[in-house]
Amino acid sequence: MRSVVSSAEVYGVERPVENGLNAATTQALHQSARAAFAATSAPGAVMAVRTAEGTWVAALGYEDWARTVPMAADVNQRIGSVTKTFTVTALLQLAERGALSLDDPIETYVPGMPNGTATLAQLAEMRSGIPSYTFNQSFQDALFADPDAPWTPQQLVDLVKQEAPLFPPGDMVFYSNTNLVLLGMVIEQITGEPIETVLAEQIIKPLGLEHTLMPTDATLAEPHARGYTLQGVEGRQPVEATDWNPSWAWTAGAMISNLNDLLVWGEALGTGKGILSSATQARRLASFDLTIPIYRGPDAQAPQTPARAYGLGLARALDWIWP
């Protein structure tokens, strides 16, 4: 039986449910959801806001491009880079236990990387200067030629081993998926366990996240929406990517969850409750630094002054924090 979180609205069909928020706030959220969704080309979306007063949810559009199944709030979904928040949290937990130090260089665990002196903290903060394999042309060609093919973490990081560092460690910010795959490799080395086991034991089970997992294949449990992409596609007709093998993203972006679990996870990330000590959570929330410039490429005349900062597995701008 499918459940809906607190309150929900399907785009164009009102389904008022008591949600604890006042009427004006609920109406404003409905209007913002409709406006934001209308500006996208996605067939559907699920949105939610949780405060101390209550929870608001909107299920907009449809689960598929053919518009045959209305979107529902309880769909399982691939959560992309939200995965990074789980990976870095697991790393911080291991640092709390003394199993590793955030000041350890990545060279200690995965030799031969560009900027091997970059610390684990600098990888988690996107300040390592290590290139991202997702910008590697051979990787892109291989992925789009055979999106069902499995990738190992070692294959992913090997793609950039011969590339030059982008900048000295700590000098700038560059969002690199390689950083998070490397951290996943470190976690597995330290624990002697597969990353899916580590995340389940250290985070998922303690928080009671019943629909969250690191997949080991392309399976996506029902109910779920369909995913589409224009990447690697000729023309403007999107292709379905729902069942593409997610191993290419691994600890940078392969996890699965649903709305209920993500609302719990968002609160845990913001407070540290149930996952980190108060000291570690304070360090995490103090790790944003707006003075560190953003890397814009080798031909940029000057680094960009950032409008946002990246910290330990989280970004921050205008007092908002997100993956």
Of 112, 323, 86, 97, the residue nearest 184 (C-alpha) = 86
In a domain, 131, yes or no: yes
Residue-wise DSSP of 99-142 = SS-TTSBGGGTSTT-TTTT-BHHHHHTT-S-PPPGGG-HHHHHH
Distance CA 250, CA 214 (A): 8
**By three-state DSSP, how is residue 153 classified?**
helix
Cβ neighbourhood burial of 132 (10 Å; 0-12, 13-18, 19+): buried
Q: In the chain, how long is the greatest CA-to-CA distance?
A: 58
Domain assignment of residue 211, yes or no: yes
Model's pTM, two decimal places? Answer: 0.93
Answer whether 65's CB lies under 8 Å from 43's CB: yes
Q: Decide: 260 and 5 in contact? Cβ < 8 Å.
A: yes
Tokens of 131: 């290139």
Give the count of beta carbons closer than 10 Å to the beta carbon of residue 191: 17
Eight-state DSSP code of residue 242: T
What was the pLDDT predicted at 4? 43
Give the number of other CB atoms < 10 A from CB of residue 277.
12
Helix (H) or strand (E) holding 320: strand 320-322
Residue 287 CB partners (closer than 8 Å, separation 6+): 121, 125, 311, 312, 314
What is the rounded CA–CA span in Å between residue 77 and residue 92?
A: 26
Task: Tell me whether residue 153 is in a domain.
Answer: yes
Tell me, what amino acid is at 275?
I
Structural domain harbouring 294: 80-322
Give the CATH number, domain containing residue 293.
3.40.710.10
Write down the pLDDT at residue 271: 96
Q: Given the structure tokens 């929900």, which residue do they identify?
A: 8
Structural domain includes residue 18 = no
In a domain, residue 13? The reply is no
Q: Does 3 reside within a domain?
A: no
Residue 26 lies in a domain: no
Two structure tokens written together for 249: 């993203």
Taking the CA atoms of the chain, what radius of gyration do you get in angstroms? 20
Measured in residues, the chain has a length of 323
Could you read off the pLDDT tens digit of each residue along the chain, which spans 323 residues? 344 444 444 543 333 344 788 889 999 999 999 999 999 989 999 999 999 899 999 999 999 999 999 999 999 999 999 999 999 999 999 999 999 999 999 999 999 999 999 999 999 999 999 999 999 999 999 999 999 999 999 999 999 999 999 999 999 999 999 999 999 999 999 999 999 999 999 999 999 999 999 999 999 999 999 999 988 877 778 899 999 999 999 999 999 999 999 999 999 999 999 999 999 999 999 999 999 999 988 887 777 777 889 999 999 988 889 88
DSSP state of 295: P
| CA–CA gap between residue 221 and residue 224 (Å, rounded) | 7
Domain-located, residue 286: yes
Strand ranges, E, within 62-218: 77-78
What is the number of domains present in the chain?
A: 1
Residue 98, judged by CB atoms within 10 A of its CB (0-12, 13-18, 19+), counts as: exposed
